[in-house]
Amino acid sequence: MLKGEEQIWYAACKARDTRFDGRFFVGVSSTGIYCRPICRAKLPKAENCTFYTTAATAEKAGFRPCLLCRPELAPGTATVDATAVLVHRATRLLEENCRSGLSIEEVAGHLGCTSRHLRRAFSAAYNVTPVQFLQTCRLLLAKNLLTDTGLSVIDVAMAAGFGSLRRFNDLFKKKYRLAPTALRRQSVNAKSQHSNITLGLGYRPPYQWQQMLDFLALRAIPGVEAIRDGEYLRTVNLVTGEKRHVHGWVRVGHRPETNILTVTVDSTLLPVLTHVLARIRHLFDLYCEPHAVYEVLESMNTIHPNLCTPGTRLPGCFDAFEMSVRAVLGQQITVKAARTLASRLVEAYGTPIQTEIECLTHAFPSPEDIIALDGSIDNHLGPLGITKARARTILELAQAFVRKDIHYTSCAQPEIEIKKLMAIPGIGAWTAQYIAMRAMGWPDAFPHTDYGVKKALAPRTSNEIVALAETWRPWRSYATVNLWNSL
């Protein structure tokens, strides 16, 4: 007999409610399989169902993933969850670094706690250890690669973070009661082994895809980014755990009928695949729970009809340094003018990259590239139209980035990092809030001095705008995006 929250979860499975996708999984005792609540298979009897908050917990209980609804495609949990912020930050780090061999002690160090405390928090939140969660991340990524790509089994094992093919085969068979090669034979979607890698990343609907593309298109840096045929494309320049630079490109499309973003990755980026996927999730805000956001921001529509649109996402970024420099260049000038300056910077000091996509030609300059410029930074950036003050701010940012003085990831403590940013000469409240919003993915940033915000809320004074925005917490970043889109 189901009780309390379990009855709600079973009802969600019966309705195939997308709002619950990724928030829990259901293990079915009669089949030994665990599913997403949106699974299209026949609804199991209530007495055969056991509910789990993570895929790792379901696998710990002995269930294997459904081949129909594919739990590896389920969206992740939202950034804002006051009951388990630490654990959510840890899951992000583990997902992104499942190939790099990052230890639990190192994860705890990044989060500012002890490994013992992290294990205790993980167990309390999910009833699994961080190591078990990491193991499930690797297995589900491998399952995704086996199903949707033509990569060899050994390439799949290495890309997913397994140290050896034997270890991968043994664990896959133990957990899923199926050999990796057998799963590959069952898949009708596997592509040629020589093709690029295309995977699916799930999200909770609705998703205002065109709205996101329009936002990114207006700010796209020529040579680095492009919007073409309803897809987002960009160059990638990352460093592997072995300190080797890898270059390539990525393309992101949309399948609204299945609530999935398709991510096609240049095969040269296989050694950094988990990092690429993590950055795409951040850029396109795939952890968002749109219904929770809209419940708070729906009151915006009393200001203007349709001011807040359900499914509006917070545009993140793929590269934190690139975004930070772009924010500095955009101070007190138009978006178009800032894009022009960024384009000149890329053409002069970006890294040329050969791709099969003609509009993608350069990677954005790295902080090391900026620091390595000889002589005064003014002499290099001044001829590009960048003022002396902004040139020096960009150099300071690059130095802070290399020293790791500021944490730009979604695991950062934004209030602390904003103070660090504002200590850099040339970075004020607007720039710091904008960087926190897009680079750190902070959902509650609010650049109240922004021209677009003031224009959308005219004739209110600055104090009135700040007071009004208090009702939009903790989603003020989403409110800001809606205000910008209204213009």
Catalytic sites, residue numbers: 35, 450
Listed residue (425, 466, 418) closest to 439, CA to CA: 418
Return the closest-CA partner of residue 90 out of 71, 118, 117, 125: 118
In angstroms, the CA 445 to CA 137 distance is 30
How crowded is residue 354: how many other Cβ atoms within 10 Å of its Cβ?
Answer: 9
Place of tokens 């259901």: 26
Dihedral of CA atoms 141, 146, 149, 154 in degrees, nearest 10, equals: 90
Helix-helix angle 335-349:320-329, to 10 degrees: 130
Nearby residues of 30 by Cβ (< 8 Å), 6 or more positions away: 44, 45, 48
Read off the amino acid at residue 410: S
- Let me know if 52 is exposed, middle or buried by CB neighbors in 10 A (0-12, 13-18, 19+): buried
Cβ contacts of 33 within 8 Å, gap of 6 or more: 27, 63, 64, 65, 66
Separation CA 135–CA 145 (nearest Å): 16
For the record, the structure tokens of 319 come out as 């590269």
327 vs 269, 330, 366, 379, 475, CA distance in Å? Answer: 27, 5, 15, 21, 21
Instruction: Report the helix count and the strand count for the chain, using DSSP H and E.
Output: 22, 11
Q: What is the identity of the amino acid at 135?
A: Q
Say how far apart CA 315 and CA 318 lie, in whole Å.
Answer: 10
Rounded to whole angstroms, the maximal C-alpha distance in the chain is 74
Two tokens, residue 385: 């139209």
**Which amino acid is residue 99, in one-letter code?**
R
